[in-house]
Amino acid sequence: EDKVVQSPLSLVVHEGDTVTLNCSYEVTNFRSLLWYKQEKKAPTFLFMLTSSGIEKKSGRLSSILDKKELFSILNITATQTGDSAVYLCAGDTGNQFYFGTGTSLTVIP
């Protein structure tokens, strides 16, 4: 059975802290791993990772994939209150996307 597990389930940090969110997956015919940020409504796309060991970066956010160990991490440095959201990862089978339960991040001033 395809499965995507995220940890921690929730996290509270202070502004300026660095956080690491984890995503492990067991997905049949794995093709890529995606990260999304969801505030009140639509999940917004962050990264799509297909190759092991290649870091993708966007500003203070970065992510990397380990296809041997079947996991990915999302790092956020110098967190801001605007980073407060649920972060979802999804495994892509080439047929559909399986979402993890998400990590709820709260950044307090």
Per the CB < 8 A criterion, the answer to whether 79 and 18 are in contact is yes
42 burial via Cβ count (<10 Å: 0-12, 13-18, 19+): exposed
Give the footprint of another protein on residues 60-89 (CB under 8 A).
88
User: Of these, 21, 23, 25, 43, which contacts another protein (CB under 8 A)?
Assistant: 43
C-alpha span between 101 and 55 (Å, rounded): 23
Asked if 34 touches another protein (CB under 8 A), the answer is yes
C-alpha span between 72 and 36 (Å, rounded): 13
Give the footprint of another protein on residues 10-29 (CB under 8 A).
none
Q: Identify the DSSP state of 109.
A: -
By CB under 8 A, the count of residues binding another protein is 24
Asked if 50 touches another protein (CB under 8 A), the answer is yes
Residues that bind another protein (CB under 8 A): 31-32, 34, 36, 41-45, 48, 50, 88, 90, 92-97, 99-102, 104
